[in-house]
């Protein structure tokens, strides 16, 4: 029994959610291999080889694998599937896009967003926006799984020395073409990897207040900035700031919710945080029901005070 983990990466290396996916794969009890897919990804593969827990790193390096389009990547996974009992990837945008496609080609029912591994066939996953946890057993010969990264402590980035092996599967020519990306530029940590997150809600009133009041605190704490759906819907910040059922699922050490009432769909995205702080002027706001520390008051007074005190 060997598991293959598709590794998410960016220019700076292997992403933390990928290391959580490796941690999930390790619980299956067999060997774990990593797979790096892209164009010009030699350095990424070398970084992957240092991750303890991986015994081998496969590299599919070809221009046709750039941007990880669903068609060539799914075809690649099918080509490699013969050697593996489990194929996993973190439930990132890429993982969620590609793994179900590969699963269908293998005639396997994908199991999305697992938050627990019971045994090699049985997994726990949240349903109904995390309001229930289902334990499901798969009858498929192979398992294709996406992993809720916030539910598994990532393995370390360094300490291992896996063998690197090039994969000679030529990318299939798909019917889709990558045109471009508009990525939010930020010096701050990514939401899904940050140890501290400070999020703003409708109570922030506008985008300028995010910049003026939240950003300086985030910089002092080395935190990422997030937002509720209401703040994104109101256009205060871009869509990719959204924490919640339809946005990012996060579980940092510290989550500070500012001017967020605590709608169920927001709680679904952050209630597994280790420590939650809520700052809200409405003392009956539902966010206080999940907060370890609540501070009732006007955020426009509290935030500058908080910034100065840090």
Partner 1 sequence: MKLLVAVKRVVDYNVKVRVKSDKSGVETAGVKMSMNPFDEIAVEEAVRLKEKGVATEIVAVSIGVTQAQETIRTALAMGADRGILVETDVAVEPLAVAKLLKALAEKEGADIVVLGKQAIDDDMNATGQMLAALLGWPQGTFASKVEIADGTATVTREVDGGLETVALALPAVITADLRLNEPRYASLPNIMKARKKTIDVVKPGDLGVDVTPRLTTISVSEPPVRKAGIKVPDVATLIEKLRNEAKVI
Segment 7-36, which members bind partner 1 (CB under 8 A)? 10
Q: Which of residues 146-185 bind partner 1 (CB under 8 A)?
A: 174-184
Least Å distance, CB 52 to partner 1, is 25
Q: Which of residues 198-237 bind partner 1 (CB under 8 A)?
A: 221, 229
Stretch that binds partner 1, among 20-28, 43-51, 53-61, 135-143 (CB under 8 A): 135-143
Long-range contacts of 217-220 (CB under 8 A, 24+ apart): 217/256, 217/303, 217/306, 217/307, 217/310, 218/188, 219/188, 220/307, 220/310
Least Å distance, CB 56 to partner 1, is 27
* Tokens encoding 78: 């099918």
Stretch that binds partner 1, among 29-37, 43-51, 68-76, 154-162 (CB under 8 A): 68-76
Q: Residues binding partner 1: what is the number (CB under 8 A)?
A: 88
First to last CA, the chain: 50
Stretch that binds partner 1, among 31-39, 48-56, 89-97, 203-211 (CB under 8 A): 89-97
Q: Does 74 bind partner 1 (CB under 8 A)?
A: yes
Q: Could you tell me how many residues make up the chain?
A: 310
Q: Does 305 bind partner 1 (CB under 8 A)?
A: yes
Distance in angstroms (rounded) separating the CA atoms of residues 153 and 261: 29
Distance in angstroms (rounded) separating the CA atoms of residues 281 and 284: 9
Q: Does 261 bind partner 1 (CB under 8 A)?
A: no
Q: Does 86 bind partner 1 (CB under 8 A)?
A: no
Q: How far is CA 137 from CA 110, 118, 119, 122, 140, in A?
A: 12, 9, 9, 4, 9
């Amino acid at each position: 029994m060997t598991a293959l983990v598709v590794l998410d990466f960016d220019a700076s290396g292997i992403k933390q959610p990928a290391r959580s996916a490796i941690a999930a794969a390790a619980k299956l009890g067999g060997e774990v291999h990593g797979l790096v897919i892209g164009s010009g990804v030699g350095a990424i593969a070398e970084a992957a080889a240092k991750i303890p827990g991986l015994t081998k790193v496969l590299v599919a390096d070809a221009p046709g694998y750039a941007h990880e389009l669903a068609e060539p990547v799914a075809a690649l996974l099918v080509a490699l599937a013969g050697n593996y009992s489990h194929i996993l990837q973190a439930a990132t945008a890429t993982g969620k896009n590609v793994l179900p496609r590969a699963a269908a080609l293998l005639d396997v029912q994908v199991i999305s967003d697992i938050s627990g591994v019971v045994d090699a066939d049985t997994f726990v996953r949240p349903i109904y926006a995390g309001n229930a946890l289902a334990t499901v057993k798969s009858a498929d010969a192979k398992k294709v799984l996406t992993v809720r990264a916030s539910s598994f402590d990532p393995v370390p980035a360094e300490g291992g020395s896996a063998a690197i092996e090039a994969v000679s599967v030529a990318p299939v020519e798909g019917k889709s073409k990558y045109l471009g990306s508009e990525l939010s530029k930020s010096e701050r940590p990514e939401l899904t990897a940050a140890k501290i997150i400070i999020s703003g809600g409708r109570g922030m009133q506008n985008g300028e207040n995010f910049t003026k009041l939240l950003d300086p605190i985030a910089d002092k704490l080395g935190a990422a900035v997030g937002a509720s759906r209401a703040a994104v819907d109101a256009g205060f910040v871009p869509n990719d700031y959204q924490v919640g059922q339809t946005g990012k699922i996060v579980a940092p050490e510290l989550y500070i919710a500012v001017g967020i009432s605590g709608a169920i769909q927001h709680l679904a995205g952050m209630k597994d945080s280790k420590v939650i702080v809520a700052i809200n002027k409405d003392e009956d706001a539902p966010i206080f029901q999940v907060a370890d520390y609540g501070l009732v008051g006007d955020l426009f007074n509290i935030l500058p005070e908080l910034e100065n005190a840090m």
